[in-house]
């Protein structure tokens, strides 16, 4: 282990990304303080039952050098009071934590946002860049964009460095959502109707995200920076599915349904977000992240192989 770099507070530490990041930080020499909703008895835990505008962060932030804010409220279909919950947690909760961190003398605050602040697709357009006008989609994307705007205002004249990371779909061992659904369908041998899809999409291995956070944490050259991240390869949906199947040591049966019909079927079934995330293109320009000297340390294929391992705890 390297010499200790300092103390870093990770919110959402028990989640998919948080579990991977905590291990990476510890290996890199950071003292990790894990913010969790329910205690598990592990070393370095601090219990924060809810995140909002009134959360008391004093104990959690005592002696902390950096914060990585992963915790967020994510989409749940047909959820009551959704607008209020997204505002309380993703916007007001984020800004209150950042302000508390600033008052506690934290030197670097990293906020993991989402590529959805740009929209769900860039079909017919150039890859997304950090300086594009934002066009957030859905309550989740809009709440993250609002939190980003508040953080940018907070950064003005502040001594604390703020970094915003906008990832696309993050995959890895223990991932949920669309990645878990694809993994399950492949494992069951279910034929998938994506042979006729010719898009290009960005994906991000959780180990590559962790690597960039480690790369960025010690740097305080700019007070406010935004980065788009993805694996080096940006591939079509059927290519991603095929390579996931190969990583599992098998194959997948893809068949062709004309895209307009497939799009209509997904829309009628109420899976509009799935339709956009599987059929449309979503490419990102990595030149800004690469200009920092960072490169994704693992390939798409290696990331998929690691994703099929049992989750680390």
Tokens of 217: 């944490």
Hey, which residues does 106 pair with through a beta bridge?
Answer: none
Active-site residue identified among 16, 128, 140, 171: 140
d(CA 269, CA 259): 15
Domains of the chain: 6-175+200-234+282-298 (3.40.50.720)
Q: What is the DSSP string of the chain?
A: -PPP-EEEEEETTTSHHHHHHHHHHHHTTEEEEEEESS--S-TTEEE----STT---HHHHTT-SEEEE-------TT-TTHHHHHIIIIIIIHHHHHHHHHHTT-SEEEEE--GGGS-S--TTSPPB-TTSPP---HHHHHHHHHHHHHHHHHHTT-SSEEEEEE--EEESTT--HHHHHHHHHHHTT--BS-TT----B-EEEHHHHHHHHHHHTT--SSSEEEEE---S--B-HHHHHHHHHHHTTS---B----HHHHHHHHHHTT-HHHHHHHHS-B-B--HHHHHTT---SS-HHHHHHHHTSPPP-
140 is catalytic: yes
* Tens digit of each residue's pLDDT (9 = 90 or more) over 52-110: 999 999 999 999 999 999 999 886 655 667 888 899 999 999 999 999 999 999 999 99
Contacts of 254 (CB under 8 A, 6+ apart): 191, 192, 193, 194, 195, 238, 241, 242
Contacts of 149 (CB under 8 A, 6+ apart): none
Contact between 75 and 138 (Cβ < 8 Å)? yes
Contacts of 182 (CB under 8 A, 6+ apart): 192, 241, 244
Tokens of 219: 């740097």
Biggest alpha carbon distance in the chain?
Answer: 57
- pLDDT the model gives residue 42: 81
Tokens of 72: 């967020």
Tokens of 244: 């996931």
d(CA 38, CA 40): 7
Give Rg (Cα) of the chain.
19
pLDDT one digit per residue (tens) for the chain, 313 residues: 344 689 999 999 999 999 999 999 999 999 999 999 888 878 889 999 899 999 999 999 999 999 999 999 886 655 667 888 899 999 999 999 999 999 999 999 999 999 999 998 998 899 999 999 999 988 899 999 999 999 999 999 889 999 999 999 999 999 988 899 899 999 999 999 999 999 999 999 999 999 999 999 998 777 899 999 999 999 999 999 999 999 999 999 999 998 888 888 877 765 556 656 778 899 999 999 999 999 999 999 999 999 998 766 5
């Amino acid at each position: 282990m390297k010499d200790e770099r300092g103390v870093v507070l990770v919110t959402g530490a028990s989640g998919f990304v948080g579990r991977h990041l905590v291990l990476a930080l510890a290996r890199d020499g950071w003292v990790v303080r894990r913010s969790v909703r329910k205690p598990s008895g592990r070393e370095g835990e601090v219990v924060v039952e809810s995140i909002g505008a009134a959360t008391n962060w004093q104990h959690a932030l005592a002696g902390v050098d950096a914060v990585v804010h992963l915790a967020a409220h994510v989409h749940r279909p047909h959820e009551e009071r959704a607008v209020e919950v997204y505002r309380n947690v993703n916007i007001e909760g984020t800004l209150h934590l950042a302000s508390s961190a600033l008052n506690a003398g934290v030197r670097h605050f990293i906020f993991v946002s989402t590529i959805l602040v740009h929209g769900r697709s860039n079909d017919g357009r150039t890859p997304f860049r950090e300086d594009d006008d934002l066009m957030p989609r859905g309550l989740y994307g809009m709440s993250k964009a609002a939190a980003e705007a508040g953080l940018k205002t907070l950064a003005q004249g502040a001594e604390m460095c703020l970094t915003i990371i906008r990832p696309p779909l993050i995959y890895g061992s223990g991932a949920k959502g669309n990645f878990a659904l694809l993994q399950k369908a492949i494992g069951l041998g279910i034929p998938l109707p994506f042979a006729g899809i010719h898009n290009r999409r960005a994906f991000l291995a959780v180990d590559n995200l962790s690597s960039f956070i480690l790369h960025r944490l010690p740097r305080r050259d700019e007070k406010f920076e935004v980065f788009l991240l993805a694996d080096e390869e940006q591939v079509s949906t059927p290519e991603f599915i095929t390579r996931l199947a190969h990583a599992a040591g098998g194959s997948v049966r893809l068949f062709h349904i004309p895209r307009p019909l497939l799009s209509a079927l997904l829309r009628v079934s109420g899976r509009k977000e799935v339709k956009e995330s599987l059929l449309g293109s979503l490419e990102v320009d990595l030149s800004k992240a690469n200009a920092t000297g960072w490169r994704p340390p693992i390939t798409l294929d290696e990331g998929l192989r690691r994703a099929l391992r049992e989750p680390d705890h």
